[in-house]
Structure 1
Amino acid sequence: MKPNRDYFASSEHHQTLLHAFLTLKNTDDIGVTCVTNKGEVSTSWSTLVQRAQRRAHWLQRQGLAAEQTIGLALPNDTLFIECFFACWMLGCIPVPLARPGLLGPQSLERTRHIATDAGLQQLLCPQEDHTQYDPLGDIVQCMPVQPLTEADSPKAPIVDIPITPESIGLIQYTSGSTSRPKGVVLTHKNLITNCNKMSEEYPFGQQESFSSWLPFYHDMGLIAELLTVVSLGLPFYLMEPLTFLQDPFIWLESLSRHRCTLAVAPNFALAHCVRRITETQLDQLDLRTLRALYLGAEPISEVAVKDFTERFQRTGLTPNVIGSAYGLAECTVGVSRSQSSQGLHFDTVDREQLAQGKAVYVESDDAMDTKKIACVGKIYSEHYGIIVDDEGHEVEERTVGELWVRGPSVMKGYWNNDKATKEVLVTRDGQRWLKTGDLAYFAKGELYICGRNKDLLIIRGKNYHPEDIERAAEQIELIRSGQTVAFSIPGDATEEIVIVCETAAPVSEHSSLAQKVKGHINTQVGLKVKHVELQPPRTIPKTTSGKRQRRLVRTIWMKMRGHV
């Protein structure tokens, strides 16, 4: 299968992404290549369109009909793609789900909540996962997805598509980093608009291709990658998240060998590659064709970016390849993005002033007195953003407040949850705005994200972001990167700081390690930590997208100590 082609499709003239997908019915020279540790399997877009049509007839015979909600707990491969678009062909509403076990003990409980909340008619899963859903039998019917046979071939292709731009295209459940997951209702117009906005300013050439390991149950993997690839008709190199986590070289080697030009990843992926890739493996990589690696989904660390670019410089990777993006499920996925090929820009601000709500630029690089915040670019065209204070008044540049956005990518609302919808969708000057819950500021028209409003720590009247405390702790040897959670608890005179960290260090070393963590946080952030809780690896719960569940960890910590 060819790694590139001489033209690219455009979804701008299509009503929906399903219409864009169907136009790929004659594209047989490029498609999706599934990469594993055992090899690769390529499938052309034309074959995937045919499979999706056959799958739609199969689902129809199982009783699926328009406007039904259908859970998709499927692998990160072509099976998910054919079932997803088959649902759209029938006018069904897909609800992506994590497969059992991917999120630890949380997986089944999360699926139970979503199945109940979304009123799932069916849950599609691979045959090997079927029995794991037996405990949910009283809530939803689980349907193993069998291989297609000749009998599943349609007598005629589907012509009448029972969807419009205003139809519900997807229910994307939030990761639940600060609350229980809610179903974000996205229309087909939301989806195609956001995909177009994410790609409109990127200078696409004649040899573009996308590589991804992000899960389809998360909006970055599904919308920012899969659906955007479909909208452009690009070659797509795909793998399971677990494949990357177990061996990131497989992803990097695929990028290198297939001369991929585009990729998206969370910040932690950079540190994971730096930590796991050997010198011998480095010598096998050629990343000169990689033109853009966008970071999103979590705060961006300057240290992680610098370590990654320096480590992989010998592969031909240049710092200007690294870009940044910001978004949230309630705005489909994307809100802003840095300009391509210009690299990342970090704003150095006074830490004391930031605690007072002012982002004052300073020249100093003193880690004790300053904080570096990544620029996430300008808001997409036809979308707008403002920063407001606690009373809802717009504030001036370099003043920290809550980010509100509006535009055609903003969700319809939360599924069957009017109360939650009214809390985040508000009217201002006759316009419909989304309250993101993120603290941010603008500088020269570009956006900078400081953290989550609900996660903010207020100590002696000053505002502190838990990310700063967590990053300081992770600089200590033996503390696992990305596996720390900071929060506050009531104290005698003021709030007290607690940080929970994962470590593989023996218990005999925990006392001295905890003291090192306390001392370093005091030096770097200027805060005295009351409690350092050390836990073994893989014990701190995270969301489906790998975000830290600070409120959940806090609740567990308080309950373990007899607090309500």
Structure 2
Amino acid sequence: MIAPAGGNQKDYQMQLIIDTLCARSAATPEQTAFEFLSTTGAPLSALSYRALERAAAGVAAMLRARGVPAGARVLLLCQPGPDYVAAFFGCLHAGAVAVPLYPPRNRLHVARIVSVLRDAGASVVLSSRQSIERCGAFFAEQGVSESMLVAVDGDALRDAEPGTPAAQRADALAFLQYTSGTTGDPKGVMISNGNLAHHLEMLNAWLGGEPGGTMVSWLPPYHDMGLISGLLAPVAGGYPCVLMPPESFAQNPFVWLDAVSRHRATISGGPNFAYGMCCKRLTDEQIATLDLSRWRLAFNGAEPVRQKTIDAFAQRFAVAGFEPLAMAPCYGLAEATLLVAGHEPNTLAHGLDVDRQILQDERRAAPARDASPMARDDAARWRSIACIGRVTGGQHVLIVDPESGEPCADGRVGEICVAGPSVAQGYWRRPELSEAVFRTVRDGVAGRAYMRSGDLGFLLDGELYVTGRLKDMIVISGRNYYSEDLEQTVTATQEKVVPNGCAAFVADHDERENLVIVAEIERVERHGNLNDVVTDIQKEIWLKHEVNPHSVFLVSPGQLPKTSSGKVRRKACRRALEAGELKVLAYWNGAG
């Protein structure tokens, strides 16, 4: 077990984030809270603290007028931007429980949204007039009354007088964060006011978020990282945030770094694949226009962190003034509000090379530093795992054997379990699952309950290393393989493969479990010699993992099913492949 870095934490006097907003509105009403950019990075609008408070009060007044009581669930389906920010803070102002979801785009998306609406028992859906007009018929097909759909993009909401926010207890729900569901049905994580208050103080302490700094974020506000780091932490810390539409990064990664440069951002970040895309897709001419010297903390999380990506980004953008000490790998999950562990700021991010075979077969870390010089020279033998760092304020991590529940020794791989004030209350309306995930693991010293993350990792010298997902472990002929490890081998060695564009899973054939690789090919490479790519993938998988893929499929970009946060859905990919729904460009099948 590891205690939080920094010793004992001070007693925390809880202040609700909506009360913080009101206090900032009173003290510095004209100070910018948020600036909003277009998909090309052009300025669109801004919200001062006073304007945000008034907009939130307007949404709250509208909810009260519709008879929405404190504690009622309200779905947020607004496009990222001023209306989304106003709607979320408006729910907090009214004491309603916000349920952030991505805005509706088509009939299938609406069906998924309605399933969450019913699970949450929401009484109101906040969205834009355009979305309601475009998708209202789809909601009607699902039995959702038109009266439940409320537009929040009218000017009337901006003119409301500030009111007194609803009184809230620490254990009352602030919002429900529905998980993106890579391995199962989405579940509503219950985040209380107390969880959020503790977490925002802890997060800003790690980010260095304070007046005088600036954040830039393109992350979707309907996911935990974008919502908490991009919307809530800046208001809590008193520094402005420049918000960009999530699609701006997908369309052109340069727009993100250009915004960091132009707005002299001190804090920004994203998943590991975002840094990889910047390395791959920005030209030397574009990089020459950037000044990243003010970027003090570049957080890297929400998916497996790759040391190779960290090193590549630092090298590629050194000419733009990027300081390697700014890169900060982190680990977290919605069930812990967001952040669990993060690399110590202003220290160089590093990785640990461990014996790949021992990690897979014995579930323990055997560092290369302890091996002979000859063994260290065998590059294929070693897997580099990024060091996440130490557990952040007031939280505790315990590594346990996923089968026995017993604590693991230092360097032994087990399930990462988390305890502390930021750990959520459980899953909405799922008492049995909540009991199994949040309350079955206890330590033998303090007797505290730990939340089971479903992630695998180990502690070494007081620092956390994450190795994969428990449910994504592949077993072939009695040997263990990490899906993410296999996928990383493909994307790291094949330039023609789209970053974050690979899925590794098993499929049954002749009563055997067989490895299948599906990889997306860059659009400009679709007409090249793809047979060579297939052969290279087979070779690299064998060299690094000593397992032969049964099948390798190359598909068009955008074919892999992913969650709304960009994580590959392996089970859905297997189903789509078996149903013939993927556009296959080339393939090799060991069955002939």
CA positional deviation for 1:207 = 2.6
Which residue matches 2:546? 526
2:49 matches 1:49: no
Cα shift readout 1:390-429 (whole Å, capped 9, x = no counterpart) = 2000110000011111111111111111232122122425
- Residues in 2 aligned to 1:107 and 1:345: alpha-carbon distance in whole angstroms: 40
Match of 1:180 in 2: 185
Q: Is the contact between residue 206 and residue 392 of structure 2 (CA under 8 Å) also seen in structure 1?
A: no
| Among candidates 77, 81, 85, match of residue 89 of structure 2 | 85
1:442 to 437, 456, 459: 459
TM-superposition CA deviations, 1:465-509 (whole Å, max 9, x none) = 111211222222322221110011235575211011112444784
Which residue number in structure 2 is paired with residue 7 of structure 1?
A: none
2:557 matches 1:537: yes
What is residue 79 of structure 2 aligned with on the other side?
Answer: 75
Distance 1:11 1:97 in 2: 34
- Check 1:297–1:208 CA distance in 2 against 1; reply closer, same or farther (3 A cut): same
- Give 1:431 shift: 2.2
Matched, 1:297 2:317: no
Within 2, Cα distance between the matches of 1:105 and 1:489? 30
d(CA) in 2 for partners of 1:239, 1:366: 44
One-letter code aligned to 2:572? L
Q: Contact (CA 8 Å) 2:218, 2:244: kept in 1 or not?
A: yes
Shift of 1:375: 1.1
Q: Which deviates more from structure 2 when the two are superposed, residues 341-350 or residues 19-28?
A: 19-28
Distance in 1 of aligned mates of 2:108 and 2:457 = 31
Residues 217-265 of structure 1: CA deviation (Å, up to 9, x unaligned): 0000001231111111111111101012112222212211221101121
- 2:476: which partner in 1? 459
Distance in 2 between residues matched to 1:449 and 1:85, nearest whole Å: 34
- Secondary structure of residue in 2 paired with 1:123: strand
Task: Find the aligned partners of 2:398 and 2:165 in 1 and give their Cα distance.
Answer: 42
Confirm or deny: 8 A CA contact 2:307 2:350 kept in the other structure: no
Aligned equivalents of 2:313, 2:33: Cα separation in 1: 30
1: CA distance, partners of 2:308 / 2:108: 31
d(CA) in 1 for partners of 2:60, 2:136: 23
Amino acid at match of 2:276: A
Whether 1:149 aligns to 2:156 is yes
Cα shift readout 1:42-77 (whole Å, capped 9, x = no counterpart): 221121112211222123223332221111111221
> Is the Cα contact below 8 Å between 1:88 and 1:163 reproduced in 2?
no
Change (3 A) 1:55 1:205: closer
Q: Answer yes or no: is 1:136 the counterpart of 2:134.
A: no
Report the 3-state secondary structure (helix = DSSP H, G, I; strand = E; otherwise coil) of the residue aligned with 1:374.
Answer: strand
Counterpart contact for 2:19–2:165, Cα < 8 Å: no
Measured in 2, the distance between the counterparts of 1:313 and 1:406 equals 38
Give the Å deviation of 1:85.
1.1
CA distance in 2, matches of 1:174, 1:159: 32
Q: Does residue 372 of structure 2 align to residue 362 of structure 1?
A: no
**Contact persistence 2:25–2:53 (CA under 8 A):** yes
C-alpha deviation, 1:558, in angstroms: 4.3
Paired position in structure 2 for 1:114? 116
The one-letter code sitting in structure 2 at the alignment partner of 1:247 is N
Report the secondary structure of 1:414's partner residue.
coil
Give the aligned residue type for 1:147.
G
User: Which residue among 497, 503, 511 is the counterpart of 2:515?
Assistant: 497
Q: Residue by residue, what CA displacement relative to the aligned partner does 1:522-561 show, whole Å, maximum 9, x if unpaired?
A: 1232221001122211111111211111122223334559
CA distance in 1, matches of 2:430, 2:178: 13
Partner residue of 1:546 out of 551, 559, 566: 566
How far apart in 2 are the matches of 1:507 and 1:289? 42
Aligned mates of 1:522, 1:554 — CA distance in 2? 21
Does 2:107 correspond to 1:98? no
In structure 2, relative to structure 1, the CA distance for the partners of 1:437 and 1:106 (3 Å cut) is: farther
Q: Which amino acid aligns with 1:490?
A: D
Partner of 1:20: 20
Tell me the percent identity.
30
What is the CA distance between 1:153 and its match in structure 2?
A: 4.0
Q: Distance in 2 between matches of 1:194 and 1:401?
A: 25
> Which 10-residue stretch deviates more, 107-116 or 92-101?
107-116
Q: 1:105 to 1:309 in 2, by over 3 A?
A: farther
- 1:11, 1:192 within 8 Å by CA — same for their partners in 2? no
The superposition leaves residues 173-213 of structure 1 with CA deviations (integer Å, 9 ceiling, x where unpaired) of 00101111101011011111111112224555663111100
> What amino acid is aligned across from residue 379 of structure 1 in structure 2?
V
Shift of 1:20: 1.3
Alignment of 1:256-335 (within 5 A): 256-335=261-340
Bigger mean CA deviation after superposition, 442-451 or 109-118 = 109-118
| Number of residue pairs matched by the alignment | 548
3-state SS, counterpart of residue 528 of structure 1 = coil
Alignment of 1:153-302 (within 5 A): 153-154=159-160, 157-159=162-164, 161-203=166-208, 207-302=212-307
TM-score of the superposed pair, with normalisation by structure 1: 0.92
How big is the shift at 1:106? 5.4
2:501 is the alignment partner of 1:486: no
CA deviation profile, 1:11-69 (whole Å, cap 9, x unmatched): 95443111112111132123211112243422211211122112221232233322211
Judge which range, 199-208 or 28-37, deviates more: 199-208
Query: Does the CA contact (< 8 Å) of 1:344 and 1:375 recur in 2?
Result: yes
Q: Which runs of 5+ in 1 are unaligned?
A: 1-9
Distance (Å, rounded) in 1 between the aligned partners of 2:309 and 2:393: 30
1:373 to 362, 368, 385: 385
Q: Normalising by the residue count of structure 2, what TM-score does the alignment of the two structures yield?
A: 0.88
Change (3 A) 1:330 1:205: closer
Q: Say if 2:66 is the partner of 1:62.
A: yes
| Equivalent position to 1:431, from 427, 431, 448 | 448
* Amino acid in the other structure paired with 1:431: R
Partner letter of residue 489 of structure 1?
A
